Amino acid sequence: MNILKFFTAGSVDDGKSTLIGRLLYDTDSILADQLEALQSSNRKNDDGTIDLAILTDGLRAEREQGITIDVAYKYFQTEKRKFIIADTPGHIQYTRNMVTGASTANLAIILIDARNGVVEQTIRHSYLVSLLGIKHIVVAVNKMDMMDYSETVFSAIKEKYKALALNLGLKDVTYIPVSALKGDNIVQPSANMDWYEGESLLHFLEKVDTDLQDKTTQARMPVQWVIRPQTDELHDYRGYAGRVLSGTFKVNDNVTVLPAGTSSTISKIEFFENELDQALAGQSVTIHLKDNIDISRGDTLVNSSALPMESKLIEADLCWMDGRALDPSIMYLIQHNSKTTKCKINEILYKVDINTLEKHAADEFKLNDIGRVIIKTADALAFDLYGDNRANGSAILIDSRTNLTVGALMFRASVE
């Protein structure tokens, strides 16, 4: 059994919270006391049934306003898989929350209201999915019950979306007609749409491949911490602790330490009390090298045969996440895995209108703005392109005046 992390893109009006509530409800993931609280709540659907959306509306302000304003994480499990849902708000003023939820997901459910079809919001959400490099996309056409479960309606929406997917370069798209309210094709196949031959949403989620996306030769491990017991018996022990971002490290592999550029050979890989032959993407391990070289937090171990880019000048997509606009005249901090260094935004190449996907020149960057910039860092970063290696191709910007995370960066090219 493994884990699938997915996020849902849509608005309250599309029935997003109802969809998640339905997944939880129909997989028996709602416990009796939660159900009791749900039943005693005074929010009901028009026909008097329980409003499943309440399950995901966590914060008081959200309950009062009836909207989702933050990312809420929900968990459920079937016999086949553990699922982590990032429930994100769909409204344009919460674009940053959606980017946050999408950043850790390997599948996105794009919710389309069958009554409205592909709308501005669909374009925006699909653009964000492509920007964040999410591999699998499910287009769930919801509220089919309100359109008489019509195949024609579904097919027309599918055709329209295909054009959008092509434009955005989204390759792996699956289309499912559903009614979250009535439960059609969520867990059980729908009896109301016998023209649909595909699987229910849950069955699809259970079997979609979740192999770590970075099936690559680029072995990368940022050093988080150096383990040095300095006891009598472990006097010379020096282990580099970190989580393998991508690729595989094996004992006897030649590795390079960046940014120093020094090379050595892996003498031992440890995980707690065990010695391993290899460490794979996703594993947290401790690596030992044959040579005694100076390595500390912020350095990255990489395999010498597939070096990353190294640069102080990087072209990147930026999503701005703070109420205070980007100020090109000040220094920010950039955090790239375990490395933090100063940086400046050298140039704004363009901004994207995320409703129309048009690019235009800009000299300011405000909350929820997305576009392409050139960033200049104080220390060189050892990175890969986001499209090849999500984990080593992403970073955050921190405003050192407020310490807030103000930007999400996806590296697209080295400028030097």
Partner 1 sequence: MSEYNFDYLDELEAEAIHILREVAGQFEKPALLFSGGKDSITLVRLAEKAFRPGKFPFPLVHIDTGHNFEETIEYRDEMVARIGEKLIIGSVQKSIDEGKVIEQTGKNASRNALQTVTLLDTILENKFDACIGGARRDEEKARAKERIFSVRDEFGQWDPKRQRPELWNIYNGKIHKGENVRVFPISNWTELDVWNYIRRENIALPSIYFAHQRDCITRNGQLMAASPFLNMDSDDIVESKKVRFRTVGDMSCTAAVESDADLIDDIIQEISDSKISERGARMDDKVSEAAMEDRKKGGYF
Contact between 341 and partner 1 per CB under 8 A: no
Residues in contact with partner 1, total (CB under 8 A)? Answer: 69
What are the two backbone dihedrals, phi and then psi, of residue 35, each rounded to the nearest 5 degrees?
A: -65, -40
Query: Of the ranges 11-19, 157-165, 252-260, 403-411, which one interacts with partner 1 (CB under 8 A)?
Result: 403-411
- Location of structure tokens 């393998």: 244
The partner residues of 310 in beta bridges, in order of sequence, read: 382
46 is an interface residue for partner 1 by CB under 8 A: no
Stretch that binds partner 1, among 193-201, 261-269, 354-362, 401-409 (CB under 8 A): 401-409
Q: Is 408 in the site for partner 1 (CB under 8 A)?
A: yes
Residue 283 is a binding residue for partner 1 (CB under 8 A): yes
- Interface stretch with partner 1, choices 71-79, 261-269, 303-311, 352-360 (CB under 8 A): 71-79
- By CB under 8 A, is residue 195 in contact with partner 1? no
* Closest distance of CB 145 from partner 1, Å: 28
Determine the Cα–Cα distance for residues 359 and 343; give it in Å rounded to an integer: 25
For residue 81, list its beta bridge partners.
2
Query: By CB under 8 A, is residue 100 in contact with partner 1?
Result: yes
State the Cα–Cα distance between residues 195 and 275, nearest whole angstrom.
55
Is residue 75 at the binding interface for partner 1, with CB under 8 A as the rule? yes
18 binds partner 1, rule: CB under 8 A: no
User: Who's near 383: CB < 8 A, 6+ residues apart?
Assistant: 308, 309, 310, 311, 314, 336, 392, 393, 395, 411, 414
220: Cα within 13 Å, side-chain hemisphere: 27
Task: Give the neighbor-by-neighbor strand order of the sheet with 107-113.
Answer: 72-77, 81-87, 2-9, 107-113, 136-142, 172-177
Instruction: Give the binding site for partner 1 (CB under 8 A).
Output: 1-3, 31-34, 37, 41, 55-61, 63, 69-75, 77, 82, 84, 96-97, 99-100, 103-104, 215, 224-225, 227-229, 234, 237, 241-243, 271-273, 280, 282-284, 297, 321, 333, 335-338, 390-391, 394-396, 398, 400, 403-405, 408
